[in-house]
Amino acid sequence: MNLSTFSPAQGSIWELPPRLAASWAMTSHILIVEDEAKLARFIELELKYEGYRVSVASDGVAGLAAARESYPDLVILD
């Protein structure tokens, strides 16, 4: 795809091919750091449904400890 002629109607330049996206999801670990329990649970369930391994921490201190312990691929912070 030529980025100089890219338009949003053509789709996302960040979109992975389905086979690669599924493979990445199945092996990726996401850490959610969120102090609102219901929101954290909602995000956790959605990501698990998509095939990600998910951990949740309720505050920054717990999030930092979890990140040091498990080396997540992505951290979601509020």
Concatenating the DSSP letter of every residue in the chain gives: --GGG--GGG--TTPPPHHHHHHHHHH-EEEEE-S-HHHHHHHHHHHHHTT-EEEEESSHHHHHHHHHHH--SEEEE-
Mean pLDDT (whole number) for 43-61: 95
pLDDT for position 48: 93
**pLDDT computed for residue 14 by the predictor:** 56
| pLDDT score at 49 | 92
Q: Bigger pLDDT: 16 or 62?
A: 62
22 vs 62: CA distance, rounded Å: 29
How do residues 8-36 score in pLDDT, each as one tens digit? 555 554 566 666 666 666 679 999 999 99
| Paired tokens of 73 | 């691929």
pTM strictly above 0.85: no
